[in-house]
Structure 1
């Protein structure tokens, strides 16, 4: 992050809380089961992931692209890719 001070730009370094990041990146047991079911071809698992993440993905995509149609296409493409590449999920 940078802060403008008069005419100079001063970089600010924010230390990372690694313990918090590790906790946030841990997959819940429920998510792990959902991904395992998805990998086996369970369409209900894909629907569950869609219900859980599509609004967040749409919101992020819309903020980045500032276009409703493009954001909707991104969501669609991501979930198609998840389904077609389900065997590669670790």
Structure 2
């Protein structure tokens, strides 16, 4: 839990390397989850990309 707080603090502070690490770690699981619900590859990719975009934009 403390590690998660540190990760999000780094992202909030603009640490692009930490953001990229989170992106690489969670992109595929999030994509698989959204694809399982939606069943469309393009829509699932767009949802996950939008999620990470908003995370970085609103950090």
Same topology, TM > 0.5: yes
Q: What are the superposed Cα offsets for residues 44-70 of structure 1, whole Å, 9 maximum, x if unpaired?
A: 111111122111110111011101111
Of the candidates 31, 39, 43, which is equivalent to residue 70 of structure 1? 43
> How many aligned residue pairs are there?
59
Q: TM-score, normalised by structure 2?
A: 0.89
Q: Which has the larger radius of gyration?
A: 1
> What is the match of residue 14 of structure 2?
41
Out of 46-55 and 68-77, give the one that drifted further. 46-55
Runs of at least 5 residues in structure 2 that lack an aligned partner in the other structure: none
SS in 1 for 2:14: coil
Which ranges in structure 1 are unaligned for 5 or more consecutive residues? 1-27
4+ residue segments displaced more than 6 Å = none
CA-to-aligned-CA distance 1:13-72 (integer Å, 9 cap, x gap) = xxxxxxxxxxxxxxx222221111000011111111112211111011101110111111
Structure 1 residue corresponding to 2:4, chosen from 18, 31, 34: 31
- Aligned alpha-carbon RMSD (Å): 1.0
Compare the two structures and name the one with the higher helix fraction: 2
Structure with greater strand percent: 1
Separation of aligned partners in 1, 2:4 and 2:25:
10
